[in-house]
Amino acid sequence: MSNILIIKHGSLGDLIQANGAFKDIKNFYKNRKVFLLTSEPYAVFMSESPYIDGVIIDKRLPRWNIFYLNKLKNNLKKYNFSKVFDLQNSSRTKFYKKFIISKVEWSSSESSLEPGQTKKDFDKEPVLDRMEIQLNKSGIETKFIKHLDLEWALTDISRLTKQYANDEFILLFPFCSKKLPQKKWPYFKDLIFRLKQDYKQKYPILLAPGPNEIDEANKLGGKVVLDQNSSISIKILISLISKAKLIIANDTGPAHIASHLKKNGIVLFGSHTTAQKVSIGNENFKAVSVKDLKDLSVEMVLNEVKIKLD
């Protein structure tokens, strides 16, 4: 029997957002095996998903690396894929369609366009709306794209919460990709100082940095959550977010997790994109948007915090 392939390389926020689509695809293909082609940092995490039967790692080496591309092509051939759901919709996956996984039915943003519609126009729509249209075009009923189930990704973190917080806590994510510095609000250190003045006795202020963010986190004044001196795993990260009293974050992966868990919190947006376009924010998780994040003062953020906590 033929298999189904989903392509979603990352980032973490993108993978979290696609979990509803993974579930819808798996429910539609109950009698087929559904595989995910993704980047190495997310392979272990996604291998535990109940909606994915197997994970294939794509190292995404340069396209001039013919040896690697041939190896990837031959590896994918073994799985006898009859359909590919390209949820990455990048120039790289378009290249794969032409040269790596050709002669297979392919679902992408381009195959989802209405007559006369351009991909540029399609890409202006909110990401979850685009994903829903793409699956609907393949005849898949979409029940979970906008109603994510992350229960499978939760784990017992009582050991860590006892170590760092005991009970309720405020969790901050002041980081962002080095490639996207415009996403970074520059006043988290000042915010932490003020939060500790107002809430330290009631809510410890925690930070959960990634592997390359630990040094930065140690300079901000909050409690840095580590697991055996290393960054916490993705499942522990999701579980920590699920337990937090309040989340404050830049537009990054943890903010997407918090939004889909409908956590009480605030996500900070500059002009790099809009909350609507990236499908983040709800009645609990508020998006605060300004033209330039440098103009968003600590007082403005504190006012939002007080509305959420007081």
pLDDT, averaged in runs of 10, over the chain (310 residues): 93 92 97 97 95 97 96 96 97 95 93 91 91 96 93 94 90 89 93 91 93 95 95 96 96 93 94 84 92 94 93
Domain boundaries, the chain: 3-146, 158-309
Beta pairing partners, 173? 249
Supply the angle between the helices 127-137 and 19-28 in degrees, to the nearest 10: 10
How far apart (Å, rounded) are the C-alpha atoms in residues 256 and 60? 24
C-alpha dist (Å) from residue 241 to 33, 246, 253: 31, 9, 11
Predicted local confidence at residue 167, as pLDDT: 83
Q: Which structure tokens are listed for 197?
A: 């003045």
What's 227's DSSP letter?
B
Please report where in the chains the tokens 């960054």 appear, as a residue: 231
Predicted local confidence at residue 182, as pLDDT: 86
Q: The domain 3-146: what is its CATH number?
A: 3.40.50.2000
Predicted local confidence at residue 20, as pLDDT: 96
Torsion of CA 106, 8, 70, 55, to 10 degrees: -110
* CATH number 3.40.50.2000 is the correct assignment for the domain at 158-309: yes
Torsion sign (Cα): 297, 299, 303, 308:
positive
pTM above 0.85, yes or no: yes
C-alpha dist (Å) from residue 146 to 29, 49, 259: 19, 17, 11
Radius of gyration of the chain (CA): 20
Query: Among 177, 191, 154, 178, which residue's Cα sits nearest to residue 266?
Result: 191
Predicted local confidence at residue 310, as pLDDT: 81
Residue-wise pLDDT tens digits, 106-128 = 999 999 999 999 989 999 899 99
What is Dmax (Cα atoms) for the chain?
62
Predicted local confidence at residue 273, as pLDDT: 81
Q: Which structure tokens are listed for 303?
A: 């006012």
What kind and span of H or E run contains 135? helix 127-137
Quick one: how far is CA 62 from the chain centroid? Answer: 24
* E strand residue ranges, 135-175: 170-173
Residue 201 burial by CB count (10 A; 0-12/13-18/19+): exposed, middle or buried? exposed
Q: Indicate the length of the chain as a whole number.
A: 310
If you write DSSP's letter for every residue of 266-277 in order, what string do you get? EEEE-TT--TTT
